[in-house]
Amino acid sequence: MKIGTKISLFYTSVTFAITLFIILVFYVFTSRYVDKLFQLNLADKAYLSAQKNWEKDEVDPKSYRLILEEYNELLPRAREVLLNKDSLPAMKDSLNKYLSPKEQAKLYEGDPVFFNKHKLRGVALYYPDNQGKFVVLIMAHNKYGYNIQQHTLVLSLILLLISSVVVFIMGRIYSENIMLPLKNLLQHLKQIRGNNLNFRLKEAGNKDELDALIHTLNEMLDRINEAFKSEKSFVSCASHELNNPLTAIQGECEISLMKQRTPEEYIESLQRISTESQRLSQLVKQLMFLSRHDEDLLIQERSPIRLNDFLKNMVQKNSRIVFSNETDIKEDIILSANPYLLEIALENFLSNACKYSQGDVDLRLKLTAEADPFIEIEDYGIGIPEAEVFQIFQSFYRASNTRAYSGNGIGLSLSFKILSAYGAKISVDTEENVHTKFTIIFSDIQASDNNEKEL
């Protein structure tokens, strides 16, 4: 079932239920009012009957004539029964036909007593007079009241059906108008393919939820397009980078097999193959890390890391790196991270600093004003062109002044991915041919107090 039909049926059902409830309330109160009005007419008829029969000698002729006129006009087809209390057994038998013992007891209290006898509605009136004590019974069929009730019910049901049909038709038309932009949107979305991801949906300009949906879809298409381009670039660059060491290995093997070689030549050839194999292995590992999602990196086993000792161990691998701890606290700074991944991320920064400079590389451990630890890695080499700083964390990107240096442009992008997955923030301060300083703030990967206590 289509959404438009569901909307129409829903609101039609709601309208039908509400209207039916209103009709039932109206019918019940109308029926009660008609019955009450008929009871009042019966009571008036009973009083007029008593006055007609026993008040003739007590009123003037003009008043008596008015009583007769009202009596004849009010419920002319009513059945009348007059009972004399002096004939108690006969009156008792007659009253038993119409009234229960409880109603008979209530009769002598002075108020009219209303009763039903088959299809007849009736009233009993006790009327004491100077001529005796009498009981007046007036019975009549509420034909007009019944007709009013029937016509009211039928008319209400007809109006209910008509209103439900009208509401359904109007709801159907309105829902179709509402769903029309969504249908157009669906048709446009079906036109989007992998080769036309630049296609964007047009907003109606109504500033409503539909415009918000279109705007969100366009943003999603932007992200998909960027991801698609990045994926294509990644695959292309990865293929190129993998092809280089594979070509070198294959070429070295073919050259070695062209003729008989001396043991020394075979050793040199195998060393070159080993170097290219290590390069290929390292490249494959880096590509595997780059292909992982942030969630995959975060599920790697974490452990508390003493950042001070961790950095000291890394410095021992290269004598050009000068480490300094400029924190004001004596306790160890504890991070919760995967040691292997953290070492990969920091090692890439340090190796690049050593590669692109000739002198020492400064590695500093500091604290921010909020007591968050951060690391500064600064070299005094070729620097990074200002216009290219924003691109250095892209996969396979290499700055224009690094062509003379070996590398594949994966290291910084891999470090950025690992540190970003942990919530660390990286900033760059550089000047070409002067220096390059990377600042890494660890605000979100500090270990809890429990971990510190365990250590």
Domains annotated on the chain, with CATH:
3-147 (no CATH), 209-291 (1.10.287.130), 295-454 (3.30.565.10)
Residue 145 has a CB neighbour count (10 Å cut-off) of 19
Among residues 276, 284, 285, the alpha carbon closest in space to that of 239 is found at 284
Contact between 413 and 397 under an 8 Å Cβ cutoff? The reply is yes
Above 70 in pLDDT, residue 445?
no
Q: Give the predicted TM-score (pTM) of the model.
A: 0.47
- Written as six digits, the tokens of 174 are 């309105």
Q: What is the mean pLDDT of the chain?
A: 83
Give the Cα-Cα-Cα angle 364, 371, 376 (nearest 5 degrees). Answer: 20
Above 50 in pLDDT, residue 451?
no
Find tokens 């109007």 and name the residue.
Answer: 170
- pLDDT of 37-74, one tens digit each? 999 999 999 999 988 888 887 888 888 899 899 988 88
Quote the CA–CA distance of 241 and 235 in Å, as a whole number.
10
Quote the CA–CA distance of 381 and 433 in Å, as a whole number.
6
pLDDT at 250 (0 to 100): 87
Compute CA distances 201 → 125, 193, 205, 226, whole Å.
84, 14, 12, 17
- pLDDT of 322-339, one tens digit each? 999 877 655 678 888 888
- Written as six digits, the tokens of 173 are 């038309």
pLDDT at 337 (0 to 100): 84
Lowest mean pLDDT, pick from 32-36, 101-105, 197-201, 446-450 = 446-450
Quote the CA–CA distance of 96 and 81 in Å, as a whole number.
13
Among residues 248, 305, 291, 31, the alpha carbon closest in space to that of 145 is found at 31
Q: Please state the φ and ψ torsions of residue 293, each to the nearest 5 degrees.
A: -80, 160
Compute CA distances 318 → 202, 339, 363, 390, whole Å.
58, 19, 12, 29
- Written as six digits, the tokens of 71 are 């009596």
Average pLDDT, stretch 380-407?
Answer: 87
Higher pLDDT among residues 125 and 281, named by residue: 125
Residue 72 has a CB neighbour count (10 Å cut-off) of 11
Among residues 74, 232, 234, the alpha carbon closest in space to that of 144 is found at 74
Among residues 377, 378, 382, 376, the alpha carbon closest in space to that of 356 is found at 382
Quote the CA–CA distance of 316 and 376 in Å, as a whole number.
17
pLDDT band at residue 384 using 50, 70 and 90 as cut-offs: very high
Residue 48 exposure: Cα atoms within 13 Å on the Cβ side: 22
